[in-house]
Chain A
């Protein structure tokens, strides 16, 4: 699974992307976030407050119930501030 991080999520985790293989039970965005928080203190800090995170699966906005699969591109970032 390809993970992409943007803005302060990227800075707090210290990576702009990584390829990870979550265990089989991690089948939704919500479960993935829980699993990611356990990966490092940086992940835990960046992903602590769900309310300030947005998630996209394969470039489409997702919520905690959205399924994630092995080949997915999952992006995690703060609420957008363009325009």
Chain B
């Protein structure tokens, strides 16, 4: 079982990605998806555009490692992680995590794990109108809870 990782500037489509995971399969009992969107307000400041900078080679590598870790920890039957970069507008999708498993608990947990680790380990940086977004302590704490 592999979790597919993609780094792209183009938008993604949730329905298409879920269909790709479940297509022609009858062993999957649960698909959990998470979609991260650009908000028009962050820390009280208006946001008209968000620029996501990345270090592509390291991002691919980190996302692949995080995906492999999820596949090692939970009995997954498939998964997709897509992270966009470039200039995005409020309402646009930034990140998609979709995880398929036989049962819901593995899928819920793996999706949460993927997001928590991605947020602290994958090299992306957000810039809003007001400047670079600062890293949040809560995100580091959220990633810590999955440490064995």
Number of interface residues of A (CB under 8 A): 16
Complex CA–CA separation, A61 to B61 (angstroms)? 11
Q: Which of B115, B123, B132 makes the CB contact (< 8 A) with A8?
A: B132
Q: Are B125 and A56 in contact (CB under 8 A)?
A: no
| Chain B residues near A82 (CB-CB < 8 A) | 52, 54, 83, 94-95, 118-119, 122-126
Complex CA–CA separation, A29 to B87 (angstroms)? 32
Residue-wise interface mask of A (52-83) relative to B, using a CB-CB cutoff of 8 A (1 in contact, 0 not): 00001001110000000000000101111111
Complex CA–CA separation, A46 to B95 (angstroms)? 29
Complex: chain B residue closest to A4, CB-CB: B55
B-contacting residues of A (Cβ < 8 Å)?
4, 6-8, 56, 59-61, 75, 77-83
Question: Cβ of B134 < 8 Å from any Cβ of A?
Answer: yes
List the 6 closest A-B pairs by CB distance, nearest first.
A82-B124, A79-B135, A83-B119, A7-B125, A59-B58, A81-B133
Q: Are A6 and B115 in contact (CB under 8 A)?
A: no
Complex CA–CA separation, A59 to B52 (angstroms)? 19
Complex CA–CA separation, A32 to B134 (angstroms)? 25
Q: Which of A6, A7, A8, A80 makes the CB contact (< 8 A) with B119?
A: A80
